[in-house]
Amino acid sequence: MQKMNVYADNAATTRVSREALDAAMPYFTEDFGNAASSHSKGMSAAKAVLDARAKTVAALGAKVGEIYFTSGATESDNWAIMSAAALGEKSGKRHIVTTAIEHHAVLNTCKALEKKGFEVTYLPVGSSGIVDTEDIKNALRDDTCLVSIMLANNEVGTLQPVSQAGALCRERGILFHTDAVQAVGQMKINVDELCADMLSLSGHKFHAMKGVGVLYVRSGTELVSFIHGGEQEKGRRAGTHNVPAIVSLGTAIAQMSKDTDKRSSYIKSLSDRLAHGILHKVPGTHLNGDREKRLAGNVNICFDGVEGESLLMMLDMKGICVSSGSACASGSLEPSHVLTAMGLDRAKARGSIRFSLNEENTGEEIEYILSVLPEIIDKLRHI
């Protein structure tokens, strides 16, 4: 096959959609006002933020007063956890429950709290990459101030029992937060169905701009101010609104909340083709994580006897962008904390690659990947 350019790293970031870009453009150019200004340019910007807020709450089944715009999901995760910890501390509750496979935005915030005397339970996952509801139940204590469990894992795509966890927390009067970043566009997200008190989103994972996110906080839930300054976001997250980015988020989330089932089944048909193709054409491979309870677009494969980072480079030379499950963000060669939590040894964890597809990928691209992969693997195994 002729060389193609295939972007299969949509769990890392996505293209800004034409609609999101078009909607944002006027707020860079004509309507560049500060949303806090009282003149017409300011009012136009403020109206755009209001409109994006309305679209976002509609997509989540939330209410207007329940969302805060942030700089992204790293901030949203930090805020949710730090706020719950500050509130817990007041009543002597210094225990947090989370999972071993959370994003580093959650894990490293918990690590920081451990240094301040909090105790954190990191729930294990089996080879399925899914936490057990019984384990969640058994981990809850009288001094637990927060449970934070992601909706869909970013490396292996596995779906966690979030509504069950939320219901357990509600029964016990414990705050529940979920990082739902990876799910937008591939499954329906409803804050009531998820029983979430707090929920984090990131615009750039669903075709909005980078540097904008959302923290949903159920009304009646106490929330500690995170950034002190002006009156933006009810004074709890001060700082001039990033109007174009917020507008792009509102537009993108509205788009993504339409036809979710249709989009998701198209993406799943592509991932199934890719996964089956690799497992049949390339010996010594297996799919990481549960086969069924996973995001439509995630295909995380372990290639025996292959260095994931080298495979990534070879695929890149063929025009294919993927992510290696082996390297953490810093580029170090530590194996993935998610794959090791699932029981993979160092070599298997380092030999794993994540393809993350979305609705922009095509059947032809899948065929192209399948046409170049066997030869590359063969080469790498004979070096």
Ligand X SMILES: *Cc1c(COP(=O)(O)O)cnc(C)c1O
Whole-number Å distance between alpha carbons of 165 and 60: 18
Whole-number Å distance between alpha carbons of 238 and 260: 33
| Residue 348: C-alpha distances to residues 18, 309, 319 (Å) | 39, 12, 25
Read off the tokens for 374: 């066997």
Q: Are 241 and 214 in contact (CB under 8 A)?
A: no
Which stretch in 55-63, 71-79, 245-253, 336-344 sits in contact with ligand X by CB under 6 A? 71-79
Binders of ligand X in range 214-253 (CB under 6 A): none
Which stretch in 70-78, 91-99, 261-269, 340-348 sits in contact with ligand X by CB under 6 A? 70-78
Measured from each CB, the residue nearest to ligand X is: 72
Is residue 133 packed enough to be buried (19+ CB in 10 Å), middle (13-18) or exposed (0-12)? middle
Q: Shortest Cβ distance from residue 172 to ligand X (Å)?
A: 25
Concatenate the DSSP letters of all residues of 63-91 into one string: -GGGEEEES-HHHHHHHHHHHHHHHHHHT
- Site for ligand X (CB under 6 A): which residue of 179, 197, 290, 359? 179
Cα–Cα nearest to 245, from 57, 105, 79, 48: 48
Q: Which is nearer to ligand X, 154 or 158 (CB)?
A: 154
- Site for ligand X (CB under 6 A): which residue of 44, 182, 298, 323? 182
Q: Shortest Cβ distance from residue 208 to ligand X (Å)?
A: 10
The count of residues in the chain is: 383
Q: Shortest Cβ distance from residue 331 to ligand X (Å)?
A: 17
Which stretch in 34-42, 87-95, 177-185, 229-237 sits in contact with ligand X by CB under 6 A? 177-185
Read off the tokens for 42: 């300011």
Residues 146-175 as x/- pattern, contact with ligand X by CB under 6 A: ----x---x---------------------
Q: Which is nearer to ligand X, 75 or 365 (CB)?
A: 75
Whole-number Å distance between alpha carbons of 118 and 116: 6
- Site for ligand X (CB under 6 A): which residue of 99, 202, 232, 300? 202
Whole-number Å distance between alpha carbons of 250 and 53: 7
Q: Which is nearer to ligand X, 178 or 285 (CB)?
A: 178
Q: Which is nearer to ligand X, 285 or 336 (CB)?
A: 336
Q: Is 73 in the site for ligand X (CB under 6 A)?
A: yes
Sequence-ordered list of residues with C-beta below 8 angstroms from that of 306, at least 6 positions apart, any chain: 351, 377, 380, 381
- Known active-site residue 321: no
Sequence-ordered list of residues with C-beta below 8 angstroms from that of 142, at least 6 positions apart, any chain: 93
Q: Shortest Cβ distance from residue 140 to ligand X (Å)?
A: 23
- Looking at 110, 169, 195, 328, which residue is catalytic? 328
Q: Which is nearer to ligand X, 56 or 202 (CB)?
A: 202
Read off the tokens for 57: 């709450």
Q: Shortest Cβ distance from residue 76 to ligand X (Å)?
A: 8
Q: Shortest Cβ distance from residue 371 to ligand X (Å)?
A: 29
Q: How many CB atoms lie within 10 A of CB 3?
A: 11
- Site for ligand X (CB under 6 A): which residue of 181, 191, 246, 320? 181
- How many binding residues for ligand X (CB under 6 A)? 14
Q: Order of strands across the sheet with 175-179?
A: 67-70, 213-217, 198-202, 175-179, 144-148, 95-99, 119-123
Which stretch in 68-76, 185-193, 215-223, 296-304 sits in contact with ligand X by CB under 6 A? 68-76
Q: Shortest Cβ distance from residue 70 to ligand X (Å)?
A: 8
Angle between helical axes of 363-381 and 260-281 (0-180°, round to 10): 30
Which stretch in 176-184, 219-227, 315-323, 365-373 sits in contact with ligand X by CB under 6 A? 176-184
Sequence-ordered list of residues with C-beta below 8 angstroms from that of 208, at least 6 positions apart, any chain: 16, 17, 20, 245, 248, 249, 251, 252, 253
Residues 94-113 as x/- pattern, contact with ligand X by CB under 6 A: ---------x-x--------
- Site for ligand X (CB under 6 A): which residue of 53, 93, 177, 205? 205
Judged by the rule CB under 6 A, the positions of this chain that interact with ligand X are 72-74, 77, 103, 105, 150, 154, 179, 181-182, 202, 205, 213
Q: Which residues are catalytic?
A: 328
